[in-house]
Structure formats: C-alpha cells, structure tokens
Chains A and B, each alone.
Chain A
Amino acid sequence: QQPVQSPQAVILREGEDAVINCSSSKALYSVHWYRQKHGEAPVFLMILLKGGEQMRHEKISASFNEKKQQSSLYLTASQLSYSGTYFCGTGIPTGYALNFGKGTSLLVTP
C-alpha cells in the first residue's frame, strides 16, 4: 500500500525547477505532501482531494491525477529553504490511514 516516490534524490541549483512524483497501486481519495528537514518533524505542505483543484503553496504546486493514481509536486524557482525530504501520504476511500512513501531528498545549492 506504500506509494512509490520518484526520484529518490535530486540536487538543484537555486532558481531551478523540480518535479517529484508519487504513484499508488490502489485507488486514492487524497494525497498529502509534507517536507521534513533533518532532525525535525514533517511539516504539512498541501492536500489534494479526489475531484479537487490543483493546489499551491508559495512557489510549490501539486496535481492529482485520479485515473492514473498519481500526484506530482512541482517546485518552481527553488530556494535554499526548499532543501529537505519530501513525502507524499496517500489516503484510500475506505478509511483514513495515511501511508507515506519513502521520500525524495532534495538539496538546493547556491
């Protein structure tokens, strides 16, 4: 049930863009995105619900393709503060048990 994230890691120069993907083998009701910095708790970025709109958090946006059971996180004009590990958590229609992927490690360099 664990969603699959790709890529596992990415290194960017400040100002560059990146896309992180999250896919599931099961029908999804919701996708949640979190960012976690080293030694800290995960911090909420956004939720995408089935039938909902594309969401945005500052220069980070996300989409949810229900048919393909996938979500993508788009980081535009990346900033140093974007560095961290990004996790997607997926919720299924029959219950609310967020299952998180293994994460994508993002490093933004000057």
Chain B
Amino acid sequence: GAGVSQSPRYKVTKRGQDVALRCDPISGHVSLYWYRQALGQGPEFLTYFNYEAQQDKSGLPNDRFSAERPEGSISTLTIQRTEQRDSAMYRCASSRQENTEAFFGQGTRLTVV
C-alpha cells in the first residue's frame, strides 16, 4: 500500500476484554515495529519483526501482550484481559530493513473503560 495502515483507528473496550490491533506495513518492507505512545511522550518500543520472525519482544509490558506476523506482512498486536493502564496510542512502523527510514502508521487509539 501507499503507507502503513492500522486498524481500527479508535477502539473503546471494556476492562477485561481482549483486543487485536492490526498493522498492514508498506509492501516489501522487511522490518515491522510496534510502539506505544502516551500523550506528550515519545514512542515506547514494544516489539519488532524481520519478516515473520519476532526479533525482540523485550518491550512488551507483560504476558498479556503478544504479537505475530505469520506471513511476514500483516501483523497483529493482541492485548488480553485489558486494563485501564493499557489505554494509549499504539503505533506500528515499517522499514525496508533494519536501521533504515521507518514509516509510522496513524496509530490505533485504545481506550479501556
């Protein structure tokens, strides 16, 4: 596609529910990253993939968070048993390869009520 596409743009969920956030990277981009950004803060690293392999998941806050990229293209970030503290903007980015220009998506604004 023309840019990194994330869906949904906005998600309101009740505490305790599971949510799945989708990222469709730029076609041909090998590397895909997930970040979380609180208002007024910089993006906080969560995890990243090269192709379908999850290279680093050290930023995932706890085991309720998981991510996959089964075919090396679209990725899903799943949050189980959501809590209010999970409310944030979740951003996905992709790049041709590591250490090259990364393009960010518009993000998914998650609100847990």
- Which residue numbers of A lie inside 8 Å of B, CB to CB? 2, 29-30, 32, 40-44, 47, 49, 87, 89, 91, 95-103
Contact = CB atoms under 8 A, between A and B. Distances in A.
Identify whether the interface residues of B are mostly helix, strand, loop, or mixed.
loop
Nearest to B101: A44
Contacts, number: 55
Interface residues on B, range: 20 to 34
Contacts of A30: 99
B12 to A, nearest CB: 18
Nearest to B89: A41
Given A41-B104, A41-B107, A96-B55, A47 B99 contact: yes
Contacts of B106: 40-41
7 contacts: A41-B91, A42-B91, A44-B101, A87-B42, A96-B48, A96-B55, A98-B102
A89 B44 CA distance: 10
B24 to A, nearest CB: 14
Given A41-B91, A41-B105, A42-B104, A91 B99 contact: yes
B55 A100 contact: no
Given A41-B106, A91-B99, A98-B33, 10 more contacts: A2-B42, A30-B99, A42-B91, A44-B101, A44-B103, A47-B101, A87-B43, A95-B56, A98-B102, A100-B44
Contacts of A42: 43, 91, 104
Residue in B42, B56, B59, B104 with the greatest tally of chain A CB atoms within 10 Å: B42
